[in-house]
């Protein structure tokens, strides 16, 4: 089957300038996604970017960069689905290429592995599945959350007092952003990378780090450097 990997990598980042090229363990952040994708069942890998430096680095790693993304798809308000659709439309019209499966890999997830990618593809093949996304268990539950209003804290839920023990929470899962695996037909039919039948690939907390701040970079590098060694203590 034709399995297309798409890595959406904007150049602009307010929190960390040139975030996708910042190094973790001596490698640019985006290269960790390249390495995982190349070891997986993905057989065509494309980077969609608006940044010339990212484009040139991707080419140096022999990753396809067939275009510079239009500015309208590179703003903070640009939707990921529109970026994916633009990539698919370009490949269809310019290369006459149409995949069976599309795997979206955000470059801000350096702890994603090739095994996780391949597992998402395996799960997708199960009956009645339109997409598979990586999720992590919500540690801080919204049932006990507050919001700030008129200088006071207001409970997110009026019945928050009954959720004084973790065991009373309904299990919730949040997308990590590491993997979105879907059928090409799902995208065309539902105008979405999800569709109605979404299955999870549940990842551990240490595998779910999404780089957004300098602190996230620190946590990711410390995890990649020391976590396995630390676990041996137990």
- pLDDT per residue, tens digit, the chain (234 aa), is 999 999 999 987 777 989 999 999 999 999 999 999 999 999 999 999 999 999 999 999 999 999 999 989 988 888 999 999 999 999 999 999 999 999 999 999 999 999 999 999 999 998 899 999 999 998 888 888 899 999 999 998 888 777 766 666 788 999 999 999 999 999 999 999 999 999 999 999 899 999 999 999 999 999 999 999 999 998
Residues near 49 by Cβ (< 8 Å), separated by ≥ 6?
Answer: 8, 9, 10, 11, 55, 58, 65, 68, 69
Residue-level pLDDT at 167: 64
Residues near 4 by Cβ (< 8 Å), separated by ≥ 6?
Answer: 42, 44, 45, 46, 91, 97, 99, 101, 102, 103, 184
Sorted by where each begins, the domain ranges of the chain are: 3-137+173-231
Residue-level pLDDT at 140: 80
Q: Which architecture characterizes domain 3-137+173-231 according to CATH?
A: Alpha-Beta Complex (3.90)
């Amino acid at each position: 089957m034709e399995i297309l990997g798409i890595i959406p990598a904007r150049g602009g980042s307010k929190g960390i300038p040139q975030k996708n090229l910042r190094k973790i363990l001596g490698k640019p952040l985006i290269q960790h996604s390249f390495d995982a994708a190349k070891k997986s069942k993905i057989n065509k890998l494309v980077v969609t970017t608006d940044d010339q430096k990212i484009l040139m680095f991707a080419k140096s790693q022999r990753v396809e960069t067939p275009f510079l993304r239009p500015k309208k798809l590179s703003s903070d308000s640009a939707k990921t689905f529109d970026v994916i659709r633009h990539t698919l439309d370009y490949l269809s019209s310019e290369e006459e290429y149409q995949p069976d499966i599309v795997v979206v890999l955000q470059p801000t997830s350096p702890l994603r592995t090739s095994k996780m990618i391949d597992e998402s593809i395996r799960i997708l093949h199960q009956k009645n599945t339109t997409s598979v996304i990586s999720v992590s268990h919500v540690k801080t539950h919204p049932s006990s959350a507050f919001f700030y209003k008129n200088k006071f804290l207001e409970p997110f839920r009026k019945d928050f007092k009954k959720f004084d023990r973790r065991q009373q929470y309904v299990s919730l899962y949040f997308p990590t952003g590491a993997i979105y695996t879907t059928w090409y037909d799902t995208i065309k039919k539902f105008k979405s990378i999800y569709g109605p039948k979404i299955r999870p690939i549940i990842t551990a907390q240490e595998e779910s780090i999404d780089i957004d701040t300098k602190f996230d970079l620190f946590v990711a590098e410390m995890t990649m450097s020391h976590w396995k060694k630390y676990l041996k203590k137990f």
